[in-house]
Amino acid sequence: MAHDAFALILLMLALGYAFQRLRVLPDNAAQTLNLVVLYVCLPAAVLRYAPRLHLEPSLVGVALVPWLLLLASILLVGLFARLLHFRDDERAVLLLTVALGNTSFLGYPLTRALIGEHALPYAVIYDQFGAFLILSTYGLWVLARYGGERPPTGAAMLRRIATFPPILALLVGFTVMPAEPPAWFAGALQRLSDALLPLAMLTIGLSVKLALPRDELKPLATGLMLKLLAMPALAWLLVRLIGMQGDMARTTVLEAAMPSMVTAGALAISHNLAPRLAAAMVGYGVLLSLLTLPLWAR
């Protein structure tokens, strides 16, 4: 299963990148596919797995780990930025791309491939109560702080959270969605959620840039080291300190090991914050993670 998933990842990434270079698809193809994944495939995956999750106190630890890693990333990025004299825009990119991982587009299908379908509810908790909430609060603050915008209001953050399709699906999954829905509906959810991996990888392939920013090699190397090595290593320690075991712990570490969130890089680029560095963090992070992720899933 894992080999099949990685083969599909490489194939769809290569196709997306080839389509990007050859201009086979319209310029807005990546944005359109991203919306399909966001509004259709992700909610279907959440609806499929959330009802199977038995709410228990230990799940608080799964949601807590990404917030603890956020604090660690702020401290580590700040330390390296000071020691290596990074520019403010380079610091901003690392504050976003080290803290925020691709915990849904990549996280869901790779959790299923590397650990098993039964572990997917843990990935949903990590992603929705961790990565997404961090993006909607801390991420917006970083963009406002370094991108010259006004800080977002609490009402704006709550509105963003309340209208996010996977969050709405999570609420439905925890309340009215039966664990065993009718066969026709379960089959539809399975087909839509199975489309998450190929569509997400095609979207990433269409949007990533692999131009190496030679004058930004130091922040790029620092960011990749922190995101792909330091964050999962800290997560490995945290799950043991918290007392998590088994597949719950493995899934939490695997989610922490995911490469930088595509949305985080795209937001940095849209605010003109070291665009080449942001693109390289996402592009090279995805490629290198294909080597590191299987190690953290053990």
Q: Supply the DSSP string of 214-275, one letter for each residue.
A: GGGHHHHHHHHHIIIIIHHHHHHHHHHHHT--HHHHHHHHHHHT--B-HHHHHHHHHTTSSH
> What pLDDT was estimated at residue 7?
82
Per-residue pLDDT, 151: 67
Nearest to 111 by CA among 101, 102, 125, 123: 123
Instruction: Give exposure, 147-183, as e/b (b: 16+ Cβ within 10 Å).
Output: beeeebeeeeeeebeeebebbebbeebeeebeeeeee
28 secondary structure, DSSP code: T
pLDDT at residue number 89: 93
Q: What is the pLDDT of residue 136?
A: 85
Q: Which of 232, 269, 222 is nearest to 84 (CA)?
A: 222
Cα dihedral angle (134, 270, 219, 11), rounded to 10 degrees? Answer: 80
pLDDT tens, 247-287?
A: 999 999 999 999 998 888 888 887 888 888 988 898 889 88
Supply 216's token pair.
């930004």
- Which residue ranges in the chain fall short of pLDDT 50? none
Cβ atoms < 10 Å from Cβ of 297 = 19
Q: What does DSSP assign to residue 297?
A: T
Instruction: Tell me the per-residue pLDDT of 146-191, one tens digit each, with 9 for 90 and over.
Output: 877 666 677 777 787 778 788 888 888 878 888 788 889 989 999 9
- Rounded to a whole number of angstroms, the CA Rg of the chain reads 18
